[in-house]
Amino acid sequence: MDQNSYHKYFSTILSIAALLAGWELLALAVNNPALPGPVQSLDTFINEVPRGLWQHFLISTYRVFTSIVLSLVLALPIGMLLGREQHLDRFAAPVIYLVYPIPKIVFLPVLATLLSYGDISKITLITLVVFFQILVPIRDASRNINAALINSVKSLGAVRFDVYKHVVWPAVLPEMLTSLRIASGTAIAILFFSETISSQEGLGYYLLDAWSRFAYDEMFAGIIAMGLLGLVIYFILDYLEHLICPWKFV
Amino acid sequence: MNSLNSDNNLVIVRGLSVSYFQQKKEVPALSEVSFAIPRGSTCALIGPSGCGKSTLLYVLSGLMRPSGGSVMVGGEPPTAPRRSTALILQDYGLLPWKKVAENVGLGLEIRGIKREQRLDRVKRVLQEVGLWELRNRYPSQLSGGQRQRVGIARALAQEPDLLLMDEPFSSLDALTREMLQEQLLQIWKDKRITIIMVTHSIDEAVYLGQQIIVLAGNPGRVLEIVNNPGVGNEGYRDTPEFHQLSTMLRSKLSH
């Protein structure tokens, strides 16, 4: 292991330790069963994982990942196009600005009725939210590309496809990853909400179920699982950034 | 106007007017511009900011259409980007996400030239500008002067007969600028590429332009075309002709 990644691991461990220490102090100060400390919560977490928590975690992970990938596959080409082709954007922008601010959660009853209470309604709901959250930044990044770069590439004989391939696509990648980081937090929040309303499985259901039984340590085991889900997404995005944006790290 | 019809001219501009639309209002950028540039010569376009120098370069490169008059490059109007015209813009137009060698080979890649042939040519031009060792760097890892040389290498990789440059050395420090001006002169002497450059610097115009086209704004028109046969002579910068011409241009531009 080289010096750099050693430092990185060290600071990761340090920051998690600081979080746990803060949690412990808060739990001691509050001194209420509703806020168990990290030791007790982790203990319950480890016991709960083989007893069903693992399945809930996998189902939630599947729902979040599918939604994010689906949103990306839709938002990336559309965002790139709307940023560059003004005549399309003039048509699409009013629709985007009308639909974007609506809290999509209000559609859950409709989706649940139309698409059943299973995975599809939840994935559709999360996708509806995340799609706009990544579409708008990608479109803006695509629109704000330095005109000199485009002209330079055109002067080399580039047709429209070449401009998209060599300029627009790589130019929107960093913005895409930033928007995915923000959207992953939203995705988990929407996931939680949809799973508490109409579900028998998933971390949201697990959490609400523990809450209704006043099993606070189990509730916090569920919260830890949600935190881990976020962490997994964060690491994947970090890895992706190094993989697809190597010029940002020189 | 005899010179405008000669076969020896690579670029012929006659009565060129260009205007563009800004908030539905027509803004004239160039009006009734005429000049001719012989094959294998150099030309400097100089004038105050906003006199349409860059617009003129865009029209010559085929990226912008004239509104009136005619432009011929190599006997044809430059409607689509012409294969043997290379354009280097002010900030060199290097793609931050491509390594030096990929940037230099981009034009060849777009033309569908095969990988091996491409790499050969990239290697040759990078060695020519002395940057082969830096082929795996990204533009952000280069100095301003090195970036400009990558821009020149990318242009040379296209094997152009016409090189258009927009204020090529304006953002460089004085030492680097003189070194690159020297290198450009050397390339011109070796290959006899026709070079048209836009510049703000009187010194640069006199040092590099066999023809100096003085533009006045606004809209841009030709104020005067000055012949400058001393370009390329050894130690030209230190001669009395150089200084006389510089003084003359300075007085014209300060009107």
Condensed to tens digits (0 to 9), the pLDDT of residues B54-99 reads 899 999 999 988 999 999 999 889 877 788 899 998 888 899 999 9
Q: What is the pLDDT of residue A2?
A: 63
Say yes or no for a CB contact (<8 Å) between B81 and A156. yes
Closest residue of chain B to A156, computed from CA coordinates: B107
Q: What is the pLDDT of residue B2?
A: 43
Closest residue of chain B to A145, computed from CA coordinates: B95
Closest residue of chain A to B90, computed from CA coordinates: A148
Say yes or no for a CB contact (<8 Å) between B107 and A156. yes
Say yes or no for a CB contact (<8 Å) between A166 and B110. yes
- What type of residue sits at position A226? M
Question: Which residues in chain A are contacts of B110 at CB distance < 8 A?
Answer: 153, 156-158, 162, 166
CA nearest to B159, candidates B116, B209, B92, B108: B108
Chain A: residues touching B (Cβ < 8 Å): 146, 148-149, 151-158, 162, 166-167, 170-171, 173, 245, 247, 250
To the nearest whole Å, the CA of A245 is away from the closest chain B CA by: 7
To the nearest whole Å, the CA of B187 is away from the closest chain A CA by: 20
* CA dihedral (B200, B206, B207, B208) positive or negative: positive
Say yes or no for a CB contact (<8 Å) between B63 and A151. yes
To the nearest whole Å, the CA of A6 is away from the closest chain B CA by: 25
Q: What is the pLDDT of residue A119?
A: 85
- The two structure tokens encoding residue A171: 């130019």
Q: What is the pLDDT of residue B79?
A: 79
Integer Cα distance of A45 and A188 in angstroms: 19
pTM: 0.86
Closest residue of chain A to B138, computed from CA coordinates: A247
DSSP per-residue codes, B93-146: T--TTS-HHHHHHHHHHHTT--HHHHHHHHHHHHHHTT-GGGTTS-GGGS-HHH
To the nearest whole Å, the CA of A54 is away from the closest chain B CA by: 41
CA nearest to B210, candidates B189, B183, B179: B189
Question: Which residues in chain A are contacts of B95 at CB distance < 8 A?
Answer: 149, 153, 166-167, 170
Q: Which residues pair with B190 in a beta bridge?
A: none
Integer Cα distance of A218 and A211 in angstroms: 8
Over range A27-52, report the average pLDDT: 91
Nearest CB neighbour to B63, from listed A154, A171, A173? A154
Question: Which residues in chain A are contacts of B81 at CB distance < 8 A?
Answer: 154-157
To the nearest whole Å, the CA of A157 is away from the closest chain B CA by: 6
Q: What is the pLDDT of residue B117?
A: 93
Say yes or no for a CB contact (<8 Å) between A250 and B86. no
Ranges of chain B with pLDDT below 70: 1-6, 255
- The two structure tokens encoding residue B79: 């409607």
Integer Cα distance of A63 and A66 in angstroms: 5
To the nearest whole Å, the CA of B167 is away from the closest chain A CA by: 13
Report the residue of B63, B91, B97, B166 to disrupt the A interface, i.e. the one with the largest count of A CBs within 10 Å: B97
Q: What is the pLDDT of residue A174?
A: 95
* CA dihedral (B21, B27, B32, B38) positive or negative: negative
Q: What is the pLDDT of residue A200?
A: 85
Integer Cα distance of A240 and B20 in angstroms: 43
Say yes or no for a CB contact (<8 Å) between B61 and A155. yes
**CB-based contacts of B184: which residues, under 8 Å, 6+ apart?**
B152, B168, B195, B208
Q: What is the pLDDT of residue A163?
A: 96
A136-to-A75, A146, A163, B18 alpha-carbon distances in Å: 9, 18, 20, 35
Condensed to tens digits (0 to 9), the pLDDT of residues A127-173 reads 999 999 999 999 999 999 999 899 999 999 899 999 999 999 999 99
3-state secondary structure A66-105: HHHHHHHHHHHHHHHHHHHCHHHHHHHHHHHHHHCCCCHH
Over range A197-210, report the average pLDDT: 88
Q: What is the pLDDT of residue B44?
A: 96
Please give the mean pLDDT across all residues of chain B. 90
Looking at chain A, list the stretches that DSSP marks H as alpha helix, in order from N- to C-terminal side.
Answer: 3-30, 38-48, 53-84, 86-99, 108-115, 119-143, 147-155, 160-163, 169-197, 203-212, 216-244
Buried b (16+ CB within 10 A) or exposed e, B109-144: bbeebeeeebeebbeebbebbebbebbebbbeebeb
